[in-house]
Amino acid sequence: MAPGPAVEAHNDGMDRPENDVEHDPYVRVLGSRVHNLRGVDVAAPRDALVAFTGISGSGKSSLAFGTIYAEAQRRYFESVAPYARRLLLPAGAPKVDDITGLPPAVALQQRRGSATSRSTVGTVTTLSNLLRMLYSRAGTFPKGFTERLDSDSFSPNTAIGACPECHGLGRIHRVTEETLVPDPSLTIREGAVAAWPGAWQGQNLRDILITLGYDIDKPWHRLPKKARNWILFTDEQPTVEIHPHRHNVIADYTYNGTFSSAERHVRHTLANSQSAMMRRRVLKYVDSIDCPVCNGSGLRPEALAVTFAGRNIAQLVTLPLTELADVLRPAAERTDFEAAYESTESGEGTEVATMIAADLVARIQVLLDLGLGYLALNRRTPTVSPGELQRLRLATQLRAGLFGVLYVLDEPSAGLHPADAEPLLDVLDRLRRAGNSLFVVEHDMDVVRRADWIVDVGPGAGELGGEVLYSGPVPGLADVPASVTRDYLFDRAAPEARAPRTPVGRLQLRGIDFHNLRDLAVDIPLGTYTAVTGVSGSGKSTLVYKVLGDVVTRALGGETTEPEADGGDGDAEIVDLDHDASIGVSAEGVDLIGRLVAVDQKPIGRTPRSTLATYTGLFDAVRKAFAETPAARRRKWSAGRFSFNVAQGRCPTCQGEGFVSVELLFLPGTYGVCPTCHGARYNEDTLKIRYRDHTVADVLAMTVDEATPFLADLPAAARSLRALQEVGLGYLRLGQPATELSGGEAQRIKLATELQRPRRGHTLYVLDEPTTGLHPADVDLLDRQLHRLVDAGNTVVVAEHDMRVVAGTDWVIDLGPGAGDAGGRVVAAGTPAEVARATGSRTAPYLAARMGAYSSTK
């Protein structure tokens, strides 16, 4: 007989008679060695909600996704024909001895939206397909149309439907004299044509103008209109000889230079430059406006002429989903039908219209149940948070109606206000009652408390974790002292008491009118820690990261510090151009701010070549130290020799990656340690150089904690390592690939990169939901660092859902009361205690519950 849950709680349910396999209600993992897991054995029940917990980097995702889901995927691929298998995405075989009782699995992981303006909420959920079909088959066509338009005609992403002017994007990017020459009082020599490149390229263009007879020392506005237009917009590219003895040019040598107008330079950079920094620079000189032909819809006039319920498709896709459902519901509930024809005479009263509209309303209702009613179908996915995107995918799965499936979810509550978590839990419960199993990697203790079973991984992170501390019913974790999760799950972790701070001034913003923020007035106390709260979609991120960021950036002359992804994909940086949110906003007190640091949720790298050491910059100091050793100097090797991204020093077999892909013909491919360098990344000659009796590969294999004393005599490296330790990342290896980092780890690395930089004046730190994806223990570490920044005389403003963090701040601005058009207003502003007592605030009751813990410690 199989052991009951009480036995499972103590021994992970591994005691099971061999003849009871068919009736075993558990998924059993035997000997998992994925990432930092050390031969883990664990059991979790099917047909239940199982929460996987542990601090960031403990190994819970390696167990849930890297082991259980990966093995389910591998088994599925094995079931298809070998030829068809080659057409599927490769699935690596997880390092696990065996998994029994494993159902077919579907993974819903945290991912950023596709970095293209053509990917929208409608395309992700496939609602756009149905809506286009509705207009094609049941729309009201105007007189003069002889036949119905195909559904593709209603899509801006097809050649037949896209507006010919903007190619379906809905916006056009133009350059004007005003954007290219921001200050017409300057001369060309003084930099009037701001869009031109700097350094030698700019000098070359100025010398060409001198040679062509233009006066570069006359103020721009005094130059003839014809001359100004030619310099900025000509398509001509004359090549002239630059001769220092014939003309008063800057160059002191003779050469042939080719002219390029300012507009041509901007467009060429946007189209061809591989540098995201260069593209961002020229984007400042481009004006983005709604396409005048399609009025921003991206569609041809023919498609816009067709209506349903009195509106064209461009008008429907801009509506919040709650309003869209109301518009379609009368058609969906119709019981008397008109005759249907293939001609344009067939319209909205047919059974076809009702069938399609009813399906649309049913699908939208699932999204409403998930708290996403504030989204519109034309909302671009790059602007959608990972948590929202995961819920959009979850809605698609709910409509699929699958049975007996294992759903593996990655923090479905991420980015959710506590008020929005309840509908999510109800939806998860519906999936479970439908006969499915749910394995959820989760940090939200409210969600964990609702679970049927908990698997806690730890005790630490990285190499200090990788063990299953407990697997059993949730109450049983209270008896596991090694668990970090325990104290937070049972409210035993008391917050630190802090005295309220006195502001050194106020940043007063007036006339904010952007997205759903309408004529908003906001005061932000400087020298304090401010949290902006509100339900999902209320406008928090818009206010904090977009409006506040743009206003301060403008005041600082366009200078901002935004950590970039190491080796990132530049195309992801330029998705589309948004309007400048600072336009029309008046700001008082901004002169007290000397620097802006914006830390968002973008990944720090997308390939294994991006590592902790390369992103933070500490590896530069390490490579320089190796290059200065006597052995390296005798060989005349520079610091570049010790980069695993440079051909001279890296292993030729694995190209510096440390591992090679192993193809197993008809079996799944896998990765193996490089047979030449054995994972060291470097060739044999490079590894002969030693610094303090260690090779460069040895240093990359060290953890941050191990490297701190070893590199203590290198100030630049020591500064980076200290900052990493301060945010709780001492367990990470210096050579840890960015692809192995969790979302919480990546964001803390970005913050640590900022913390190591010298402090210069009053800095405003702007963070967009910095605790997303973090275990409560990691949240406390991060929160302490943010408080230290404020104690050092800076200002921190965060958009935040974690009430534990909000309760400890100095000032709270609560937006709402709802989401989308129902939000965007300041519901309450004041100290946490004052906002907790505010009426009409959906945040207040959750904040009040947390304020009790703080009151007891003061």
Query: pTM, whole model, 2 decimals?
Result: 0.79
**What is the structure's pLDDT at 274?**
65
Tell me the three state secondary structure of residue 573.
helix
Cβ(5)–Cβ(472) below 8 Å? yes
Question: What span, in angstroms and rounded, lies between the C-alpha atoms of 402 and 233?
Answer: 59
pLDDT of residue 649: 92
Asked if 406 and 156 touch (Cβ cutoff 8 Å), the reply is no
- Other Cβ atoms closer than 10 A to 280: 14
Contact between residue 269 and residue 279 where contact means Cβ atoms under 8 Å apart: yes
The backbone torsions φ and ψ at residue 211, rounded to the nearest 5 degrees and listed phi first, read -65, -35
Q: Report the amino acid identity of residue 202.
A: G
> Could you report the average pLDDT of every consecutive run of 10 residues in the chain (858 residues)?
37 48 85 92 96 90 92 84 62 85 86 62 92 94 89 93 89 88 92 88 90 93 95 93 84 89 89 71 82 92 94 95 95 87 80 94 92 89 72 80 90 84 85 94 92 95 88 97 95 80 96 90 97 90 90 78 45 45 90 88 70 91 95 94 90 86 52 82 94 95 91 93 87 82 73 80 89 86 91 94 94 92 92 94 94 57
Distance of alpha carbon 308 from alpha carbon 304, whole angstroms? 11
Spatial contact of 452 and 45, defined as CB atoms under 8 Å apart: yes
Which residue has 């409560």 as its token pair? Answer: 776
In the chain, DSSP finds a helix count (H) and a strand count (E) of 33, 24
CA nearest 681: which of 619, 729, 732?
A: 619
- Pair type for strands 49-53 and 96-100: unpaired
Structure confidence at residue 275 (pLDDT)? 66
**CATH code of the region 505-605+741-857:** 3.40.50.300
pLDDT at 26: 96
- State which H helix or E strand residue 453 sits in: strand 453-458
Q: Where are the domains of the chain?
A: 5-111+380-489, 176-285, 505-605+741-857, 612-726
Residues 373 and 322: beta-carbon distance below 8 Å: yes
Q: Please list the residues that pair with 579 across neighbouring strands.
A: none
C-alpha to C-alpha distance for 568 and 96, rounded to whole angstroms: 32
Please provide the DSSP assignment of 344-358 as one string.
TT--TTBHHHHHHHH
Closest listed residue to residue 21, CA positions, set 5, 40, 43, 39: 43
Question: Same topology for domains 176-285 and 612-726, yes or no?
Answer: no
Give the per-residue pLDDT at 299: 95
Q: Write the DSSP string, 715-730.
A: HHHHHHHHHHHHTT-T
What number does CATH give the domain 176-285? Answer: 1.10.8.280
Sign of CA dihedral 639, 643, 646, 648: positive
Fold of 612-726: ABC transporter ATPase like fold (1.20.1580)
CA angle 326/329/331 to nearest 5° reads 135
**Phi-psi region for residue 167, left (φ > 0), alpha (ψ -120 to 50) or beta?**
left
Closest by Cα among 858, 47, 766, 25 to 494: 858
- Can you give the pLDDT at residue 73? 86
What is the per-residue pLDDT for 574? 35
- For the chain, give percent helix, strand, coil, nearest 5: 40, 20, 45
Class of domain 5-111+380-489: alpha beta
